[in-house]
Amino acid sequence: MDFTSFVGIISGLALIVSAILYGSSDISIFVNVPGIMIVIGGTIAATLFTFQFKDTMAAFRAAAIVFTQDKQNPQQMIATMLQLTRVARREGLMALSREKADSPFLQRALNMASDASDEDYIRHTLQADIDSLKMRHYVVQDVFKKMGMYAPAFGMLGTLIGLIQMLSQLNNPEAIGPAMAVALLTTFYGSILSTVIFQPIAGKLKARTILEIQTLEIIRDGTIAMMGSNNYLAVYERLSSYVPAHQRKPVGLRD
C-alpha cells in the first residue's frame, strides 16, 4: 500500500477543513447541494462525453491502484535480471523457458530468449509492448487531467448561475450577502476537486507510468544483454544506468 498517497490527500483535506473551522464554527455554510450537483455532475458528464466509457472506468481503476499498491522498484528488477543471467550462464538460454515470472512481459521476454529469437526481433517486439503501454497510460492520465480542468470550469459556471440569481434580488439587500456566498461555493468545490484530488492523481499516475516503463526497459535491455553476452558484470553495468549512481548496489562477480 502506498501510504504517501493517503498522507497527501488526507493532510490536504484536513488542512482545508481546519482552516474552515478556524474561521467559522458553522461548517454548514460551506454545504450547498445544488452547487455540488453542478460541479460533480457536470465534471462527470463532460468526462464521459470526452472519453469512452471503458477508458473512464480504466482511469478510476488505475486511481485505486495508486492507493492500494506499492510503487515498483527498479532495483528489484535489476536483481531479478542478474539472477536470470546466472541461470543462463550456468545452464544455457534454453533454461530460461523453465523460469516462472510474475510479470507477463518478463515471461514473454524469457520465452523469446530461450527460443534463440533474433535480437532485433526481440527488441522491436518488446518495444512495441512498451509503446502500447505508454499510450494506454496516457489516456488514463488524461482522464484525470481533463477532470482537473472541468471541475473549476463547472465551478465558475455554478458561480455565474448564482450571481444571476443574486442580481435578480437586488431589491432585497439583506439577501445579497448570503446569495453571494452560495454563488462562490461552486468555485470553491471545483478548486478543491481539481487541486486536491484530480490533478494529484494524474501526477501520481504519471510517476507510476515512468517507473513501470523503466522496469520494462530494464527487462528489455537485460534480455538482450543476456543473449549478447551472459557475463554477469556486463549485464549489471548495462542495467545499472537506470538508477542513480548513489543508489546502485555493489555486486560481486559470482556466477
pLDDT for residue 1: 57
Whether 10 maps to a domain, the answer reads no
Tell me if the pTM is above 0.85: no
Which residue stretches of the chain have pLDDT < 50? 253-255
H helices present in the chain, as ranges: 3-23, 33-36, 42-50, 53-68, 74-91, 104-114, 119-167, 173-192, 199-228, 232-239
User: How many other C-beta atoms are found inside a 10 Å radius of the C-beta of residue 105?
Assistant: 17
Output 27-30 pairs: Cβ under 8 A, ≥24 positions apart.
Answer: 29/181, 30/185, 30/188
The SS3 assignment for 249 reads coil
Decide: residue 195, CB within 10 A, 0-12 exposed, 13-18 middle, 19+ buried: middle
Domain assignment of residue 16, yes or no: no
Question: Is residue 20 assigned to a domain?
Answer: no
Q: Count up the domains in the chain and report the number.
A: 1
What's the sign of the alpha-carbon dihedral 10, 11, 16, 19? positive
Could you tell me the three cell numbers for 24? 467559522
Q: What is the pLDDT of residue 89?
A: 84
The per-residue pLDDT for 86 is: 86
End-to-end CA distance of the chain: 35
Q: What is the rounded distance in angstroms from the CA atom of residue 130 to the CA atom of residue 253?
A: 31
Range of the domain at 114: 32-247
pLDDT at 33: 86
Instruction: Quick: pLDDT tens for 42-54.
Output: 999 999 999 999 9
Helices (H), ranges, 24-118: 33-36, 42-50, 53-68, 74-91, 104-114
Identify whether 19 is part of a domain. no
240 assigned to some structural domain = yes
Query: Residue 197 falls within a domain, yes or no?
Result: yes
C-alpha–C-alpha distance, residues 100 and 112, integer Å:
14
Q: What is the pLDDT of residue 253?
A: 44
How far is Cα 226 from Cα 239, in angstroms, rounded to an integer? 11
Residue 41 lies in a domain: yes
Does 22 map to a domain?
A: no
Distance CA 141, CA 203 (A): 8
pLDDT computed for residue 234 by the predictor: 79
